[in-house]
Structure 1
Amino acid sequence: MDTRPPVVVLPPASDNGRRVTIHGEHVGTAYSLFDVLDFLHAADLPVEDRAVDDPELIEWRGGGPYDWNDTA
């Protein structure tokens, strides 16, 4: 039985985007936490504010939900 979270957000790339996979499939690149929430919504996954901190839902790699390499 696979106990990994269904959503994986990869570390920020040089363009500050973070690739997002859901159930092992690339669904897009997020440039903010709002983008991640949009991907969750499109996949019919929970989108409540606390969902981003749920380790059973999202595995954040290379930083958490507030790490985007913003240089501005």
Structure 2
Amino acid sequence: MAPDKPVVIYPPDESGGRRVQVGGALLGLAYSVGDVARFMQEAGLQDFDEMDVVRTGLIEWQGGGPETWTH
């Protein structure tokens, strides 16, 4: 089951963390693609892994894609 709200990954902050937001709710800070995968699992995509994070169209990446983790 996919999240019914948009998933937004914001640009990295000074520490390299990227805010993860689903449907207006902030889920936390991700420091890697693995962290984003865990947030996606919590949002209802239990089988989502790191390759899914990189390939999916469900995520709106702001300030750089899944390879960008520095400010």
> TM exceeds 0.5?
yes
**What stretches of structure 1 of length at least 5 have no aligned partner?**
none
| Seq. identity, % | 45
Pairwise CA RMSD = 1.8
Instruction: Decide which structure has the larger Cα Rg and report it.
Output: 1
Q: Report the TM-score, using the length of structure 2 for normalisation.
A: 0.80
**What stretches of structure 2 of length at least 5 have no aligned partner?**
none
Out of 45, 50, 53, which is 2:52 matched to?
Answer: 50
| 4+ aligned runs moved over 6 Å, structure 1 | none
Distance, in Å, in 2 between the alignment partners of 1:52 and 1:8 is: 13
Cα displacement (A) at 1:47: 1.1
Aligned pair count reads 65
Q: Report the TM-score, using the length of structure 1 for normalisation.
A: 0.79
